[in-house]
Amino acid sequence: MTKERIIDFSQTKAEPKWLLEHRLAAFEKIEKLPLPQIERVKFQRWSLGDGTISESDVQGNVADFIAMDDNPKLVQVGTQTVLEQLPMPLIDKGVIFTDFDTVLKENSELIKDYFGQALSFEEDKLAAYHHAYFNSAAILYIPDNVEIDEPIEGIFLQDSESDVPFNKHVLIIVGKNSRITYLERFETIGEGAVKTTANISVEVIAKEGSHVKFSAIDRLGDNVTTYMTRRGHHQNNATIDWALGVMNEGNVIADFDSDLLGDGSYANLKVVAASSGRQIQGIDTRVTNYGKNSVGHILQHGVILERGTLTFNGIGHIIKGAKGADAQQESRVLMLSDHARSDANPILLIDENEVTAGHAASIGQVDPDDMYYLMSRGLDQETAERLVIRGFLGSVISEIPVKTVRDEMILVLDKKLEKR
C-alpha cells in the first residue's frame, strides 16, 4: 500500500483538496489501528484489501433498467453509474440522489459536512482502509420537512468478471422531520469467477425528528470476501427502522450499528442471515444509547446449512448519562446440518442506573413436532422444512415495506435451500 496510488486516483478524479487530505489522513492510520473486534470470528487472515484503487468498466449486459418502476432509483455497476431516476417534484424540493462525483462538483461542502460523521476513519483498521481507498460512492440527501411515500432504491452491483475491489460508500442524510423509505441492494452479477474483495460503508445521518425505514438485501457472490458496515447517527427523536437480509455467498464480516446520540431517539434493528456451503459470516449488531429515553431493539434470526458458520453478536451499550434508556436484544439461530457451526452472543454493557435492558439467545434445530405436523398434512419433508424456515425468518422479512422485495428475499432463501 502506498499513498502515491491514492494521490494519483484522487487527482485523476479531480477531487477537492479536502477529500485528498482526508484520504491521506486515513491512510496514515491504517497501520496504527487494530482490526475491528468481531467476537468468535477468526477473520484476521482474510484478504480484505490489496492496496489498489482504480475504477472499473461496465462489462456485458447488466440488466434491462428501462423496464424498472419509476420510483426514485440509482443504479451503479462497479464504480460506474448506469441509471439515475429522480422525479421532478422531488428535485424541486431539493432532494439529491446521485453519485459522489456529481455532488463533489456541484456542492462539495454538503459532503464535507457529513462524510465520516457516522463512521470515523479513526475507529479501526478497516474503517481507515475504507476512507483511504473507497473508489465509488453515492449520496442521498433529503432536506428538512420532506415526506416521500414511494420507496427510494439504491442498487449497487458487483461485476463477477472484474477484479477491481468493490469499495463502495453510501451517504444518506435525512433532514429534520423528514420521512423516507429506502431500499438497498448489494448484488454480484454475471457468471465470472474472479476473486476480489469488498469494503462497504453505509452512513445514515438521521436529523432531529426524522424517520427512516431502511431495508436491504445483500447478495454478493462466493468469490467476494466482504467487510460491510452500516451505521446510523440518530439525533433527537430520530428513528431508523432497519430490516436487513444478509444472503451473501462468500465470507462476510459485518457491523450494523446505531448510535442513539439524541434524546428520545429510536433504533429497531432486524437482521436475517443464511450461511451455506463452507461460508463464514460474522455479524455484529450494536446499539449504543447516549441520549436520555433512547430506545434500541435488536432482533436477529439466522439459518445455517451444510458446513456453514454464522455468528451473531448482539451488543447493547447504555452510556453514563442515558437515563431512561432501553436496550433489548434477541438472537436465534436455526441449524439444518450436524456439520454447521453457530454462536449467538448477547452482550450488555450498562453504565447508568434507571434504565431497562434485556437479552435472549438460542441455537437449535428444526422442531420435530413442527415437521411431524406439517408432513402429517401431506407435505413432503423438503416443503415442510422450507415452511418452518420461512416462519422462523418471517419476523424480519415481514418488515420490508415493498412486497416485490419481500418476495425476492424469500426467493433468494429458497435458492440457498435448494443447493443442499
Mean pLDDT across the stretch 263-291?
Answer: 96
Mean pLDDT across the stretch 316-326?
Answer: 98
Quick: pLDDT tens for 226-264. 999 999 999 999 999 999 999 999 999 999 999 999 999
Q: How far apart are CA 272 and CA 286, in angstroms?
A: 15
Mean pLDDT across the stretch 98-105?
Answer: 95
**pLDDT on residue 217:** 92
The share of the chain scoring above pLDDT 90, in percent, equals: 78
User: Which of 36-50, 281-295, 376-390 shows the lowest per-residue confidence on average (mean pLDDT)?
Assistant: 376-390
Res. 294 pLDDT band, cuts 50 70 90: very high
Contact 291, 236 (CB under 8 A): yes
Chain centroid to CA 199: how far? Answer: 11
| 96 C-beta neighbours (distance < 10 Å), count | 18
User: Which of 20-34, 78-92, 381-395 shows the lowest per-residue confidence on average (mean pLDDT)?
Assistant: 381-395
240 CB-near residues (< 8 Å, 6+ apart): 204, 206, 212, 214, 232, 234, 258, 266, 267, 268
Predicted structure pTM score: 0.95
**pLDDT on residue 61:** 47
Contact 318, 286 (CB under 8 A): no
The share of the chain scoring above pLDDT 70, in percent, equals: 97
Contact 294, 265 (CB under 8 A): yes
Mean pLDDT across the stretch 343-354?
Answer: 94
Mean pLDDT across the stretch 151-180?
Answer: 96
